[in-house]
A and B are shown apart, each in its own frame.
Chain A
């Protein structure tokens, strides 16, 4: 009797149950982080710019056409960021340049994430000889410095954007695979995977339906940070002439050209550099914010 009574009392007591989906909770925690929110806004602006530039900027006329008469103009109403050594408007070139960084960054993230996820999840799940072979091959790639690797590939196959994406991804895949593999190995022995296995669930289904979603947090965070790093790397490659080539207004390539006029026209180096920093910073902020939001325990 008393048992029933207790149950009733506790049921009658006012209890608020917050029913929110996982995604909502993540967003609520993310939203609290002012810096992460700032990063997201900046990043979205850059993405919108990079998508919409063709609507209001004419590549042939405004981005690469040379007007030697107008060269090295300082900031004015017509050219808010001035003009470069060929009289091209720096602002137009800068806005157009966002396309390369965002495209390459997203490409590297997508490629290294998907290859890393498949390799890492399968290696971690199946283990044994398969795991050994994959990991030893990746060890080899891991031992080649990333920049050297990228340069060799670009030199060998040419510096088109897809080649660049592949070249940089190759440097990121080993690390990505390792991270995913280790989180799969940790997850593999947990009870809910055991339960799925006990129900005779297909292996591929266990990997894709049960394990990968649980490793998703790590994946997203690593992917974001990779994107930030690869944007910097691409700018670096273009700077030394192994990436996207002038006259395309990639930010690294713009810096490379500007370096020749450093002594007299240093202002040409400010804008592209700041653009790279802002883009990479906004992505880092998003990555950090996501990490805290996905795993509140990790927060300091």
Chain B
């Protein structure tokens, strides 16, 4: 078994707004090993971004709160970090690439400055020339001309901005990179370039990665393991083979695969999952997927399902699997 880098244990997060109490995460369990890419898949609002932000302690102050659980990084619980420890942790051990490259760069600072700042912060005492050289290297690494580092974000296209954001994420060679839908805001040809870049960089630097996406194709291309998220829970988790090749799946996973148009079969209409993601301020009882589940039965409405371990690497949280494999654990 590989060495554990990050382990999230039964993480609950709430957002408290004026109008409602939103249950964003409801007992997330997740493990990422060193050098491994973990795909986090789910619809908008499933809690993927919240999971990432919790790891870096970036939940909005006063609104978002961790109510239960642990986030262990190399065995240490991140929520217990002091402000100073957090500053050292962020950027140097764990970096994050945000969803929208258009808004995640500061418009009034040059891109070179923004990359250099991170290097400077985590390498105190490094000379100006060395920092400069490192910035140039990072620019080259992500395929940008170092001469452009004196320019401002608005002078770059979306794909180039995302490269800068990635350069920023990797500048201090973190052990863990959180990539929050790094390609969603980009068009398809650029998406491919960026994904290939990230895959190469990950292999070069042996960085572990959590790849947040709603695109199963990306997971298949890049990730070693993956978890499917629904309404703030991970409802299926396994190696990439388990997710893509096992015959046992959570009905939601089946639905996700079913909603990908199959080019080899002639169909008249697409096959989406019926209904909408439940309102996180007003979650259904029992299994949270039951209102949309085609295989829903009485127990699903009333009893929350346990997590069933189908193989050492594959687990599913669904009542349907209690007979297939006995002895599920919480």
Q: Give me the interface of A with B, judged by CB distance under 8 Å.
A: 2-3, 5-7, 9-10, 13, 16, 32, 299
Contact = CB atoms under 8 A, between A and B. Distances in A.
A2 to B, nearest CB: 4
Interface in B273-303: 274-275, 282, 284, 290-296
Interface of chain A: mostly helix, strand, loop or mixed: helix
Contacts of A5: 294, 296
B292 A2 contact: no
A273 B127 CA distance: 62
Chain A CB within 10 A, most for which of B18, B275, B291: B291
24 contacts: A2-B294, A2-B295, A3-B274, A3-B294, A5-B296, A6-B274, A6-B275, A6-B291, A6-B292, A6-B294, A6-B296, A7-B274, A9-B290, A9-B292, A9-B293, A9-B296, A10-B274, A10-B275, A10-B291, A10-B292, A13-B291, A16-B282, A32-B18, A299-B18
Contacts of B292: 6, 9-10
A5 B291 CA distance: 10
A10 B296 CA distance: 11
Interface string B243-285: 0000000000000000000000000000000110000001010
A7 B275 CA distance: 8
Contacts of A2: 294-295
Contacts of B294: 2-3, 5-6
A6 B275 CA distance: 8
Chain B, interface size category, equals 10 to 19
A16 B281 CA distance: 12
A152 B295 CA distance: 80
Contacts of B284: 13
Contacts of A6: 274-275, 291-294, 296
Contacts of B291: 6, 9-10, 13
A10 B290 CA distance: 8
A13 B274 CA distance: 14
A5 B284 CA distance: 17
Given A6-B274, A6-B275, A9-B292, 16 more contacts: A2-B294, A2-B295, A3-B274, A3-B294, A5-B294, A5-B296, A6-B291, A6-B292, A6-B293, A6-B294, A6-B296, A7-B274, A9-B293, A13-B284, A16-B282, A299-B18
Contacts of A13: 284, 291
Contacts of B295: 2
A292 to B, nearest CB: 10
A299 to B, nearest CB: 8
A266 to B, nearest CB: 45
Contacts of A32: 18
Contacts of A7: 274
A141 to B, nearest CB: 34
Interface string B16-32: 00100000000000000
A2 B251 CA distance: 12
A260 B306 CA distance: 84
A36 to B, nearest CB: 14
A50 to B, nearest CB: 35
A294 to B, nearest CB: 15
Q: Which 9 A-B pairs have the closest CB atoms?
A: A2-B294, A6-B274, A10-B291, A13-B291, A10-B275, A9-B296, A6-B294, A9-B291, A6-B292
